[in-house]
């Protein structure tokens, strides 16, 4: 990837938005991407003319109400779907995706689930064993390896899913509301885990959530999206000091400001 | 963790909150209670059936040589199982059942995979497979006997495969069709593409439905086999179905009923094996109800 797009088309904020890691190469380059589904009466524009650059090591949150195209955008970056128009470039970086439901394979134990990710990358058996043990320890899941997914709590399943994502050794990790189904306490602890792991493992994260406060808690930059059709509304650099917590007044304040901006949008959606 | 990072104080605490209490280890007494609670309704049902049978005998509705009492039949059964002919009949029948089911398994599985993968095959053959299942297997025999000869074991095999393979194929098709899309996407993201997609995601996910198909296939195979042995009788050969037929011809009703009990028990036993395997697979995946 050579050029860094500063195009102002489709997204006024893109050109002027402050960029952290200003010198880091762009990991995900999204240029004028649209996605349409269906034909005739069923035709919908899920995403219109989205332009966005995400730099290496950056943690970007995509926030918006249902139907704003955030999951669509994530699937496009993941390569699970193709854009109707526009370009998404991730170079030769490996991309991993974590879902709201852990989606661990129910016929495999936790060990085997993590190991499969390594196996599919062609890593030999002795190395796999060692790496699985390492990852489970990193995710504080040691001793749970022989359990099957249904024998684990929701929080442990998501940590297992995160271990599987890390086993893919991806440069870009996409997360689709990964903590959306967890209770508040477990979610808070997952935020801490994620932050801790990010200090140990280098990765670019694109994190989708509908929770503005979660976005402010976690991200370097938060992208607000709006629906009907889905598009990028504005970008916000979150330069609050870390470690942050959901209850921090500063986090609440920033989240409040962003929520106000989304309010019309949310109201429209609720109606 | 590197030295300059400070672990958040909440890091360890919340994770212990998620710790699930391990499943209680069953005590021997619990196991006995559980086994008994599964067995007594069955025993009661058998007892009631035998009681009704006995009442019918006492009512003298039919003479004893046409409707023998349970006691007569069970003592006859005890004698029969000590004869060499019984074990020869049993061997012949079980061998046919096994070979026929094995053919059905190979044919049904291949057919199921082919149909699930090809839109054209699905449109053409898909509904026919279900249609075949509604065809009573006995209706195939005249054709099979014309095709393979009146005294041919191939006629029996042919009908077993026609009876069992559609169920097995349908099990494969249902299993592959019903793989949860989130698991397919997860597999795709892990790099399970092409043949690996089937090896590591689709086929394991389809296993419970496949086992259900095998179980149903066995039921059809067993029925077809019994029908076949009643109709296609090879000279000088003993089989369970053939023994039934012979007992009918000679009005040995006690023999007849003893063989019926044997046929029922074998059918149920094999079905029970399939059920046990299916339940085990389902339990390992957390698919069984909370009361198991």
Q: What are phi and psi of A48, to 5 degrees?
A: -120, 120
Mean pLDDT of B267-276: 91
Interface of A with B in 168-187 (CB under 8 A): 168, 185-186
A231: part of which helix (H) or strand (E)? strand A231-237
Residue B286 has pLDDT above 90, yes or no: no
pTM for the structure as a whole: 0.77
Residues A198-254 have pLDDT tens digits of: 988 899 999 999 999 999 999 999 999 988 788 888 999 999 998 899 999 999 999
Considering only CB atoms, B14 lies closest to which of A78, A151, A185, namely A185
Contact B20 A168 (CB under 8 A): no
| CB contact at 8 A, A14 and A235 | yes
Encoded tokens for A193: 């885990």
State residue A73's pLDDT score. Answer: 93
Tokens 């090896």 belong to B199
pLDDT of residue A263: 81
Per-residue pLDDT, averaged over B114-140, amounts to: 87
Structural domains present in chain A: 12-93+171-270 (3.40.50.300), 105-168 (no CATH)
Kindly indicate whether the ipTM for this predicted assembly is greater than 0.90, answering yes or no.
no
Cβ pair B141, B227 in contact under 8 A: yes
pLDDT at A13: 40
> How many other C-beta atoms can be found within 10 angstroms of the C-beta atom of residue A14?
22
Which residues in chain B have their CB less than 8 angstroms from residue A97's CB?
185-186, 189
B67-284 has CATH 1.10.3720.10 classification? yes
Q: How far is A98 from chain B (nearest CA, A)?
A: 8
Report which DSSP code applies to B19: P
CA distance B15 to chain A (A): 7
Model confidence at A20, pLDDT cuts 50, 70, 90, reads low
Judging contacts by C-beta atoms under 8 Å, the chain A residues touching residue B281 are 107
Q: How many CB atoms lie within 10 A of CB B56?
A: 13
pLDDT band at A2 (very low <50, low <70, confident <90, very high): very low
Q: Say if CB A172 and CB A203 are below 8 A apart.
A: yes
Pairing of strands A231-237, A221-226: antiparallel
Residues of chain B whose C-beta is under 8 A from some C-beta in A? 1-2, 5-8, 10-15, 17-20, 23, 182-183, 185-192, 196, 200-201, 204-205, 207, 281, 284-287
Convert the pLDDT of each residue in B34-53 to its tens digit: 888 878 888 899 999 999 99
pLDDT of A166: 93
Is residue A248 less than 8 Å (CB to CB) from chain B? no
Residue A248: its chain B contacts at CB < 8 A?
none
In this prediction, residues A92-112 reach a mean pLDDT of 94
Q: Give tens-digit pLDDT for B215-254.
A: 999 999 999 999 999 888 887 889 999 999 999 999 899 9
CA distance B9 to chain A (A): 10
Q: What SS3 state is found at A26?
A: strand
Q: What is the CA radius of gyration of chain B?
A: 26
């Amino acid at each position: 990837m050579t050029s860094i797009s500063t195009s102002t088309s489709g997204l006024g904020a893109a050109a002027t938005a402050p960029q952290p890691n200003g010198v880091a190469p762009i990991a995900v380059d999204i240029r004028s991407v649209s996605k349409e589904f269906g034909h005739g009466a069923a035709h919908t524009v899920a995403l219109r003319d989205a332009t966005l650059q995400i730099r290496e090591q950056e943690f970007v949150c995509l926030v918006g109400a249902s139907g704003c195209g955030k999951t669509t955008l994530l699937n496009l970056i993941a390569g699970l779907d193709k854009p109707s128009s526009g370009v998404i470039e991730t170079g030769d970086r490996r991309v991993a995706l974590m879902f709201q439901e852990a989606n661990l394979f129910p016929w495999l134990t936790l060990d085997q689930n993590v190991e499969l990710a390594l196996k599919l990358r062609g890593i030999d058996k002795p190395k796999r064993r060692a790496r699985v043990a390492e990852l489970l320890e990193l995710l504080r899941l040691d001793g749970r390896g022989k359990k099957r997914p249904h024998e684990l709590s929701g929080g442990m399943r998501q940590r297992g899913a995160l271990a599987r994502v890390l086993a893919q050794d991806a440069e870009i990790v996409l997360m689709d509301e990964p903590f959306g189904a967890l209770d508040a306490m477990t979610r808070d602890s997952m935020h801490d885990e994620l932050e801790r792991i990010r200090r140990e493992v280098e990765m670019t994260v694109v994190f989708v959530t509908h929770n503005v406060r979660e976005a402010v808690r976690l991200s370097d930059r938060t992208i607000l999206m709006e629906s009907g059709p889905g598009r990028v509304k504005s970008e916000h650099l979150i330069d609050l000091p870390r470690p942050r917590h959901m209850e921090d007044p500063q986090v609440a304040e920033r989240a409040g400001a962003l929520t106000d901006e989304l309010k019309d949008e949310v109201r429209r959606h609720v109606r | 963790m590197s030295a300059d990072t400070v672990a958040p104080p909440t890091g360890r605490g919340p994770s212990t909150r998620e710790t699930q209490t391990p499943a209680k280890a069953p005590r021997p007494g619990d196991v006995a209670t559980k086994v008994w609670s599964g067995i007594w309704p069955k025993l009661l049902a058998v007892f009631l059936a035998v009681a009704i049978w006995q009442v019918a005998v006492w009512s003298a509705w039919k003479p004893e040589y046409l409707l023998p009492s349970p006691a007569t039949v069970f003592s006859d059964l005890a004698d029969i199982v000590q004869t060499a002919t019984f074990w020869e009949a049993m061997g012949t029948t079980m061998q046919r059942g096994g070979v026929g089911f094995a053919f059905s398994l190979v044919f049904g599985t291949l057919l199921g995979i082919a149909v699930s993968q090809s839109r054209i095959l699905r449109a053409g053959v898909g509904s026919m497979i279900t249609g075949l299942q509604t065809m009573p297997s006995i209706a195939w025999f005249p054709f099979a006997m014309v095709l393979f000869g009146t005294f041919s074991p191939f006629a029996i095999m042919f009908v077993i495969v026609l009876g069992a393979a559609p169920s097995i194929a349908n099990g494969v098709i249902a299993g592959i069709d019903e793989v949860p899309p989130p698991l397919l996407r997860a597999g795709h993201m892990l790099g399970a593409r092409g043949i690996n997609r089937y090896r590591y995601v689709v086929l394991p996910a389809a296993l419970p439905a496949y086992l259900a198909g095998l179980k149903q296939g066995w039921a059809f195979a067993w029925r077809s086999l019994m029908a076949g042995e009643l109709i296609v009788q090879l000279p000088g050969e003993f089989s369970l179905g053939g023994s039934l037929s012979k007992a009918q011809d000679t009005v040995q009703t006690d023999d007849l009923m003893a063989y019926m009990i044997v046929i029922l028990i074998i059918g149920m036993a094999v079905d029970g094996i399939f059920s046990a395997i299916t339940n085990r697979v389902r339990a390992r995946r957390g698919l069984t109800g909370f009361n198991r």
